[in-house]
Amino acid sequence: MTRYALTYEFDGTPFQGLQRQKHGPSVQQAIEEALFRITGEEVTLHSSGRTDTGVHAMAMRSHIDLSREMAPFRLMEALNAHLRPNPIGVNACEIVSEEWHSRFSCIGRRYLYRIVNRRAPLALAKNRAWQVAPELDIEAMQRAARSFIGQHDFTTFRSTMCQARDPVKTLDRLDVVETEALFGPEIQFHVEARSFLHHQVRSMVGCLQLVGRGTWEESRIAAALEARDRAELGLNAPPHGLYFVEAIYPD
């Protein structure tokens, strides 16, 4: 068997997430079906992360095993041809050792969440960012975000459907940055950790947005963490503003 590592981007709008679902199309299904048409093999896609319905990816990393070897460039070109018209683009393909695993070899994951802070309806950024009309206090959100950094029990900020055994995670980075885009003020949340709980990023962003609006005091973020109770969650940000940015590996 030959193991290939794939790097690809996708628009999550038409998919029920990355991993296969019984109730709708997924990114995994689209790639596996394309691989079957190319190779005639029933191939399983193993990925470094998973995404919910509507969540996007800039550089998802996955691997597959094929019984016959193909030139990586040829495989990449064939995949892109057979994936059309799905909004998925494979931009790198390489042969890796059988010991390398897209999920278990991964030592970090980075996410981006985008808020467009304006009143006018979104046209170009529709389904690509969360529109929040009231003006947000960036500095207050930046200060409140510091409470998330480090090791915490994130029970308050995990989905009730989360399958992780341990709610304790270590957040390495959560930066709140304001940029001036052509379509108006954009607020970006840059988040990094070894691993995340289901809905953790969206839950943190949703509550920080409440701080920015003045609905929550800054101190309430720390109090919600300490409560370890999903009932203390203020808001779960919508999925379409979230992007899986990259998976990090030792080399």
pLDDT tens digit sequence for 55-73: 999 999 999 999 989 999 9
pLDDT at 182 over 80: no
- Residue 110 has a pLDDT of 98
106-125 average pLDDT score: 95
How many C-alpha atoms does 241 have within 13 Å on its Cβ side?
26
Cα distance between the two ends of the chain: 23
Number of C-beta neighbours around residue 28 at 10 A? 20
- Residue 164 has a pLDDT of 86
Crossing angle of helices 200-213 and 138-145, in 10° steps, is: 140
pLDDT confidence tier of residue 136, bands split at 50, 70 and 90: very high
- Residue 21 has a pLDDT of 85
% of the chain surpassing 90 pLDDT: 90
Reading the block at residue 22, the tokens are 């019984």
Mean pLDDT, the chain, rounded, equals: 95
CATH number of 108-248: 3.30.70.660
Considering the chain, tell me which residue range(s) the CATH 3.30.70.580 domain(s) occupy: 2-96
Which backbone phi and psi does 3 adopt, to 5 degrees? -100, 130
CATH class assigned to 2-96: alpha beta
pLDDT at 184 over 80: no
Q: Looking at per-residue confidence, does 160 or 11 come out higher?
A: 11
Which residues are CB-neighbours of 50 under 8 A, at least 6 positions away?
Answer: 17, 18, 19
For the whole model, what pTM was predicted? 0.95
pLDDT, tens digit, for every residue of 209-242?
999 999 999 999 999 999 999 999 999 999 999 9
Q: For tokens 């055994």, what's the residue? A: 165
pLDDT confidence tier of residue 161, bands split at 50, 70 and 90: confident
**What DSSP designation does 69 have?**
-
pLDDT at 189 over 90: yes
100-127 average pLDDT score: 95
- Residue 22 has a pLDDT of 83
pLDDT at 35 over 90: yes
- Residue 236 has a pLDDT of 95
pLDDT confidence tier of residue 160, bands split at 50, 70 and 90: confident
Residues assigned a catalytic role: 52
Q: How many angstroms from the chain centroid is the CA of residue 175?
A: 16
pLDDT confidence tier of residue 83, bands split at 50, 70 and 90: very high
**What DSSP designation does 135 have?**
P
Considering the chain, tell me which residue range(s) the CATH 3.30.70.660 domain(s) occupy: 108-248
